[in-house]
Chains A and B, each alone.
Chain A
């Protein structure tokens, strides 16, 4: 079955950096686009970024452009989120999620359990 396991979260000071990972299994990772979605404590879901199945194109939310960068390594079945210049408002549970094929790329077919990032001094 599809499994997505996030790791790399923790406590970091404002202005700091962190790299999140998402290990995928149970499906052919190299054929699916992937997303990062975040959820601040007690609040709603916010889409962060998407990467095409082959890494050839990425999209990201305006709120994270230039600071949070999505990437993938298909040889390791792993998705990444490099987080730089972190702000307190980046505090959230970060989920990785698998997209669907073709025109359904923007839906979230399967989700991990999330990794918590806390930005605080």
Chain B
């Protein structure tokens, strides 16, 4: 079973701000990373560490964390942001986890 919990689906109006959350005890010790996956494509890393964006990821994507919850924030959501989003982290034993994924719909 997944050690990280995500809401299955979230929607946002075009141009508005949305927060996608990821909960798990391991997040008290380790940062989450976030991945965007569009249909038929491989996942792409969008946020890692405290709040780091790989080169090429728009600055409307940001990350935050508090206690056992990590969040991916999209400020000014665009139509092309519609995708599945997955969080991932690890524990001290070398196990690596994904959340179940959140399907983001941009209305």
B83 CB → nearest A CB, Å: 13
- Which of B10-18, B58-66, B71-79, B85-93 lines the interface with chain A? B85-93
Complex interface: chain A residues within 8 A of B33 (CB): 106-108
Chain B count of residues within 8 A CB distance of the other chain: 25
Q: Which residues of A in the span 96-113 have a Cβ within 8 Å of any Cβ on B?
A: 100, 104, 106-113
* A62 and B96 alpha carbons, distance in the complex (Å): 11
Question: Which listed residue, A37, A95, A106, A112, touches B89 by the CB 8 Å rule?
Answer: A106
Complex interface: chain A residues within 8 A of B37 (CB): 45
Question: Which listed residue, B35, B99, B100, touches A108 by the CB 8 Å rule?
Answer: B35
A73 at the interface (CB under 8 A from B): no
CB pair A104 B45 closer than 8 Å: no
Decide yes or no: A111 and B96 within 8 Å by CB, A44-B86, A45-B86 being known contacts: no
A53 at the interface (CB under 8 A from B): no
Complex interface: chain B residues within 8 A of A54 (CB): none
Interface size band for A: 20 to 34
Question: Which listed residue, B48, B84, B86, touches A104 by the CB 8 Å rule?
Answer: B48
Measured CB to CB, the nearest residue on chain B to A44 is: B101
* A107 and B63 alpha carbons, distance in the complex (Å): 15
Measured CB to CB, the nearest residue on chain A to B41 is: A113
* A107 and B53 alpha carbons, distance in the complex (Å): 13
CB pair B95 A45 closer than 8 Å: no
* A106 and B44 alpha carbons, distance in the complex (Å): 15
CB pair A45 B101 closer than 8 Å: yes
Complex interface: chain A residues within 8 A of B88 (CB): 45, 47, 106-108
* A20 and B86 alpha carbons, distance in the complex (Å): 24
Measured CB to CB, the nearest residue on chain B to A111 is: B42
Tell me the B residues contacting A by CB distance below 8 Å: 2, 30, 33, 35, 37, 42-45, 48-49, 54, 84, 86, 88-90, 94-101
The 4 closest A-B pairs by CB, nearest first: A59-B94, A106-B90, A107-B33, A111-B42
Starting from the known contacts A47-B96, A106-B30, A111-B42, 12 additional A-B residue pairs (CB-CB under 8 Å) come to A44-B99, A44-B101, A45-B37, A45-B43, A47-B98, A59-B95, A61-B95, A62-B95, A104-B49, A106-B96, A108-B43, A110-B45
